[in-house]
Structure 1
Amino acid sequence: MSSVCPFAKAATGGGGCPMKFAKSDNTDQKEPNMKEDAKSNDSSMVSPKCPFGYDSHTFKLGPLSCMICQALLYQSSKCLPCSHKFCKACISRFKDCPLCGADIEKIELDTELQVIVDRFIDGHARIKRSQVNADEAGDVMKNVIYEDVSMERGSFLVQQAMRAFRAQNVESAKSRLRICEEDIRGQLHMSGDTSELHSQLGAVLGMLGDCCRAMGDTVSAITYYEESVEFLSKLPAKDLELVHTLSVSLNKVGDLRYYGGDLQSARSYYTRSLDVRRNSVKEHPDVPSQVVDLAVSLAKVADLDRNLGQENLAVDGFKEAIQCLESLKLDSSDAGLEKRRCSVLDFLHNQMDENQNPVLDSSV
């Protein structure tokens, strides 16, 4: 699952939790498209903030979090006899309570707490702003305005999903991403097609594919990856992050086809990824990461050619990839990329020295 939030560029901080409001006198925080409304109503802006500390930018923990996966509780369960609460999938891996060390005699679902968590998720960031009469003292609120703020809500949900996924609570991650998917599809229905929404939905669908793949549901994973590709392919190939996400989604479908024995289909997806990365190198010849991505795609196509009995094509592909990486000069600030370059280069040399090796991981 990608470590980059697809909502990072869109999130503005204007959204928040509707459970509490804190008055703000900083007029610079007003959203430009709402200034006229505020003036016409002779009111000031109120910035909604979450009393539990859940925020899409600060990654704080709150009382509705599982202390194991550090995401919002999913299938909330309590240990007996100590009554400490965690996600069901998280605590099921323990014999002793991670918080107090007591022996776990029994695990019970806490449906009442889960209802609270689900309501919190449903309401989070739904209230965009409220208006306060400037002539009135105190924090009296009037004319609370509800708006669709699924971008802010989306970044919050993706944050929670990524935490859960990293902790191997895949069901929780999938649940949060499905809510996010529904939000964006609703936004598309109301607002029409926009590049921003297409990029967000494409990224979320790719993450859902990762969840299904981790759960062993290959059919659903392919469906999500293919739909991710459909949305991301509509976007201009100028954003390197989007290009990388698109090419990785294509490679992941190729991997699943490869391991399923459909080599011709796998090759078609690897080739599409290769085309995306070739074009990216042409557009951004001075970006080293694009060259490494290109070498990865060349290696994957060459590996398929070898498995299909087309040895000459395979050797040509491996040689081109090796040439790309050996001609790439990196400075000391690119230590991470240099490590990746060497890893791929080792794979390529092994492919040239041996008959066959496992397919190169699509995430690289």
Structure 2
Amino acid sequence: MASCPLGYGSGKEKDHPMACAACHGLAFEPTYALVCKCVYCSACVGDVRDCYSCGRDVEGSEPVLEFQEKIDVFLNAHGPKEKRERGMFWLEHAVKHERKGNFMAADARYIQALEAFKEDESNSKEEISICMSKQAEIRWQRLSDVESGREMFKEAVGQLISGTNPENVNFTTMAVTYMKWGALEHSIANLKAAAELFKCATEARENAFVKGMCDGEDVVASRFALANVRVDLGENKAAEELFRELLETLPRGDQLSARGKAMRQIAEERLGDIDTKTNRAQT
């Protein structure tokens, strides 16, 4: 039986002529490097001076529309057939594009992944939510589309809780999504919304901790984010309580990770600032 040249069905995907030589994802808006005519994504080829495939000097580029037709034909014949497998395929290529900074391609591949996941009614809501959350980050952080990012975070949370028994909710995924959504609101100074989202993240982390789905430091990280927003809102008393609470929770010495040490240091500094402001107000 002949094997697929891309390695589909074997679990070992191979490098192939349809992959971008820079990001290794399936070429998006396929473009030839000149004069060698090796294939790249249109967004990837611009920074290439020596071709990653053949080593020749790159003197320019040209779009190659017929190459996309070849990709479509090949995927129809040899690509993943099952809806979930197709979703995972596009998700994998989205990550490849994202790692190399080709965010328009990554965004398009996340859309394709979501379409495939949603077609399969038996598919995990968690996978759909994670995919949405990753795309929301790209929309917000890389494509400067805050409103779209916000809507996708909102939908990602909705996927996790819609029609799901509370006992079966993945609180870790929910907490991560709330944290990212809160960071979006914080970045545009929408502080009250950010505080509410970080509070939701903290509650989800606490539930995850009870179920053994995360460690105590993850819970502290959510409280830390909430405490920082409380400071920005001028709610120093509430912030002080949160900072003192997380300092009591964090272990000391070698038991603390680098993240934990950083949170402890910043919390102590923030408490010092709050004490200074309180003393000034009293004098």
Give the TM-score category using the shorter length. 0.7 to 0.9
Instruction: Indicate yes or no: 2:189 matched with 1:261.
Output: yes
2:92 is matched with: 159
Say if 2:23 and 2:97, in contact at 8 Å, map to a contact too: yes
CA distance change for structure 1 residues 57 and 244 in 2, over 3 Å: closer, same or farther?
Answer: farther
1:71 equivalent among 16, 25, 49: 25
Instruction: Indicate yes or no: 2:226 matched with 1:293.
Output: no
Secondary structure at the aligned position of 1:107 is classed as strand
2:280 is matched with: none
- TM-score norm. by structure 2 comes to 0.85
Secondary structure at the aligned position of 1:82 is classed as coil
After superposition, the C-alpha distances for 1:290-323 in whole angstroms (9 at most, x for unaligned) are: 2111111101111111111111110111121222
2:260 equivalent among 311, 319, 341: 341
1:312 is matched with: 237
Say if 1:54 and 1:61, in contact at 8 Å, map to a contact too: no
Could you tell me how far apart the structure 1 residues matched to 2:25 and 2:223 are?
Answer: 38
After superposition, the C-alpha distances for 1:326-361 in whole angstroms (9 at most, x for unaligned) are: 26985xxxxxx8233333333333333446xxxxxx
Could you tell me how far apart the structure 1 residues matched to 2:68 and 2:26 are?
Answer: 10
Could you tell me how far apart the structure 1 residues matched to 2:73 and 2:113 are?
Answer: 15
For residues 190-339 of structure 1, the aligned pairs below 5 Å read 194=122, 196-213=123-140, 214-234=142-162, 235=164, 242-284=170-212, 289-326=214-251, 330=255, 338-339=257-258
Instruction: Indicate yes or no: 2:66 matched with 1:112.
Output: yes
1:42 is matched with: none
Say if 2:8 and 2:80, in contact at 8 Å, map to a contact too: no
Per residue, is there more helix in 1 or in 2? 2
Could you tell me how far apart the structure 1 residues matched to 2:249 and 2:73 are?
Answer: 52
Per residue, is there more strand in 1 or in 2? 1
Say if 2:182 and 2:193, in contact at 8 Å, map to a contact too: yes
1:51 is matched with: 5
Question: Percent of pairs identical after alignment?
Answer: 23
Say if 1:202 and 1:229, in contact at 8 Å, map to a contact too: yes
The runs of 5 or more residues in structure 1 that have no matched partner are: 1-20, 23-48, 127-148, 189-193, 331-336, 356-364
Say if 1:56 and 1:159, in contact at 8 Å, map to a contact too: no
1:63 Cα offset (Å): 2.3
Secondary structure at the aligned position of 2:257 is classed as helix
CA distance change for structure 1 residues 121 and 210 in 2, over 3 Å: closer, same or farther?
Answer: farther
The runs of 5 or more residues in structure 2 that have no matched partner are: 275-283
1:237 Cα offset (Å): 6.6
After superposition, the C-alpha distances for 1:18-57 in whole angstroms (9 at most, x for unaligned) are: xxx65xxxxxxxxxxxxxxxxxxxxxxxxxx533224684
1:153 Cα offset (Å): 1.4
Mean Cα deviation higher: 77-86 or 90-99: 90-99
Secondary structure at the aligned position of 2:52 is classed as coil
Could you tell me how far apart the structure 2 residues matched to 1:169 and 1:122 are?
Answer: 25
Could you tell me how far apart the structure 1 residues matched to 2:21 and 2:204 are?
Answer: 41
CA distance change for structure 1 residues 108 and 239 in 2, over 3 Å: closer, same or farther?
Answer: farther
2:80 equivalent among 116, 119, 125: 125
CA distance change for structure 1 residues 88 and 169 in 2, over 3 Å: closer, same or farther?
Answer: same
Say if 1:237 and 1:243, in contact at 8 Å, map to a contact too: no
CA distance change for structure 1 residues 315 and 160 in 2, over 3 Å: closer, same or farther?
Answer: same
Instruction: Indicate yes or no: 2:90 matched with 1:174.
Output: no
- TM-score norm. by structure 1 comes to 0.68
CA distance change for structure 1 residues 351 and 251 in 2, over 3 Å: closer, same or farther?
Answer: same
For residues 28-107 of structure 1, the aligned pairs below 5 Å read 50-54=4-8, 57-107=11-61
